[in-house]
Structure 1
Amino acid sequence: MNSAPIKTAVIGYGFSAKTFHIPFISSLAEFELSAISSSQIAAVTADWPMAKYYLSADDLLKNSDAELVIITAPNDVHFQLAKTALEQNKHVIIEKPFVTNVADGEELIALAAEKGLILSVYNNRRWDGDFLTVKKLIEEGSLGEIKCFESHFDRFRPEVRQRWREQSATGGGILFDLGPHLIDQTLQLFGVPDAITAQCLIMREGSTNIDYFNLVLHYPDKVATLHSDLYSAGPNKRFSVKGDKGSYEKQGLDPQEDRLKAGVLPTEP
């Protein structure tokens, strides 16, 4: 006997919701897109007329029948929205970054455990094809003992943009935007490091948040360097993995994001 699909609500209707979340929700029979909160009433009601529309996230959390809430709102409101959702007995997925400080994260984890609810963060780039290739090469020993690992997420954006990802005083900048992908992937490969060296800078004129970082994760037998800057006019390095039997180099980003932006659904080959 098939169970009813999970009633799923999405908070926010920006790039993240439209590219990385809703195409998967709408493609899977196990989920039903039941509600969306956004200020973009015309776009939401035109694109998803079967979903209930809410102007405010708070209204959705307190009045919708959603069982699962996916939070794609700006980083500085992740904590409060997730806390309210858990208090309303809803399971929660938060777009990365999870929260903007450790204490808030620990409070959410404790609250979810107390209520017996699922709380997770959307680390979608664990399933990028190039990362899975790196993971496979390491696990099967093709490169031998790994000694040097580099992961880059570089762009060419020398001008500051007027958008919350760059302007927000809490959780803005590329360390919060791109850093979670690189850090999560490295933890998946090698676990928690013994130490971290971090260089985090504001480089662009008019920038108010970190727009350059170089993180070095120190392990007993290897070093992992995670880098992002906005002065890389491509083609850009993505991965460099060096072992005592060989090395692997990858240029450019995994193509899944571009395909999703072009409207190719996850159900297509």
Structure 2
Amino acid sequence: MLVIAYIGFGNSVCQYHLPYVEARKNKMKVKYIYRREEDRVGDLERESWYPAIQFTSSIEEVMQDPEVNLIVVNTPDQFHVAYTKMALESGKNVLTEKPFAMTSEEAKEVFALAKEKGLLAMANQNRRFDADMRTVRKVIESDVLGELIEVESHYDYYRPSIADHKGMGVLYGLAVHPVDQIVGEFGVPEKLVYDVRSIDNPGISDDYYDIDFFYPNGLKAIVKTSYYVKLDYPSFIVHGKKGSFLMPSLGHNSSKAKPNGPYPLPTEEYDEEFWGDLSYMDQEGQEVSMKVPVEKGDYGLIYDNIFDVVAGNAEKIVKDEEVIAVLEIIEAAMNVAKEAK
């Protein structure tokens, strides 16, 4: 049984963690949510939504409880490493929200400590299990596209108000997801080319990026975000030697309505207008065109993996070297953004 304690109680915990853990209560449960006392003032109603969970402002209570065997760090980014190290020093396995650390060097230190302690430390790169990403993965693994030539990933917005945002942060807050999706699916590239800047505030913001990943087998992957895209672009475009696949945009998680109570486990079924478009040449040389239903997104799959790893039956689904590579890419992209004056 995984006995879980959360450090933090933001929207991410409520929407992307708790519903998926509750759906797996036969093998995991949440015992604590730690919040600083000042964060609880005027916000106790949300705590009442979860009567089975103990809310506490004593970090020692959480870390010293022998029943707790998994700490989930879900705090502002700059505190991830400190809490992760604290949990490891207390003998707890740790799942840390993205970005796992603010630098690749910090991540290496954390992984070294986890290895020394014989514990799990893993990044919560849950967007590997988005509905669109799982659909793309299913098509790629079917091999109907043949040898892959190009994969393009888009996560775009139309928000002209981005012009008022002066400061870095989009790379660590947003780009870390699609960059990880590519690294998780295809591995660490041998070469990268960066176009990272701001349309409105060059040199002081990082809200536009176009990063090209080049692989030894000839595959090129593109990760791109702009805040000036008025018409929906496909979230993924995949071209192989035998065919192509287009995955429509399914919208943004941030645009979904917030319930006045616990988030339910998502059960959305996507209409055919959101299904992917697949066209390829079969073994007889005949053209095949079809709609591909959207796979079900499931952020709980990362918890299933942790359960199996802790039981000694699996390896981590998000590898240490992948986390380090993603952070190195983000760091290099940040430098390009600062120079883009």
TM-score surpassing 0.5? yes
User: 5+ residue gaps in structure 1?
Assistant: none
Percent identity (aligned): 30
What do the CA deviations read for 1:195-253 (whole angstroms, capped 9, x no partner)? Answer: 11112213345995421111100123121110112222342320011112111112213
Match of 2:118 in 1: 116
Correspondence 1:215 to 2:217: no
Distance 1:118 1:43, change over 3 A: farther
What is the number of equivalent residue pairs in this alignment? 258
Match of 2:312 in 1: none
Matches within 5 A, 1:15-54: 15-29=11-25, 30-38=27-35, 39-40=39-40, 41-54=43-56
AA aligned to 1:14 is: G
Matches within 5 A, 1:1-269: 5-29=1-25, 30-38=27-35, 39-40=39-40, 41-55=43-57, 58-59=59-60, 61-65=62-66, 66-160=68-162, 173-204=169-200, 209-220=205-216, 221-253=218-250, 263-265=263-265
Partners in 1 of 2:92 and 2:200 — Cα distance?
A: 41
**Contact map agreement 2:8 2:74 (CA 8 A) in 1:** yes
Distance 1:100 1:64, change over 3 A: same
- Alpha-carbon distance, 1:140 to partner: 2.2
**Contact map agreement 2:150 2:220 (CA 8 A) in 1:** yes
**Contact map agreement 1:160 1:206 (CA 8 A) in 2:** no
What do the CA deviations read for 1:168-216 (whole angstroms, capped 9, x no partner)? Answer: x8xx622112222212221233221111111221334599542111110
TM-score for both structures, normalised by structure 1: 0.84
Partners in 1 of 2:84 and 2:176 — Cα distance?
A: 18
AA aligned to 1:194 is: E
User: 5+ residue gaps in structure 2?
Assistant: 270-341
**Contact map agreement 2:34 2:62 (CA 8 A) in 1:** no
- Alpha-carbon distance, 1:139 to partner: 2.2
Report the structure number with the largest CA radius of gyration: 2
Q: Secondary structure at the match of 2:151?
A: strand
Distance 1:261 1:147, change over 3 A: farther
Partners in 1 of 2:248 and 2:169 — Cα distance?
A: 24
Distance 1:267 1:68, change over 3 A: farther
TM-score for both structures, normalised by structure 2: 0.67
AA aligned to 2:181 is: Q
Answer with 255-264 or 23-32: which moved more: 255-264
AA aligned to 1:216 is: D
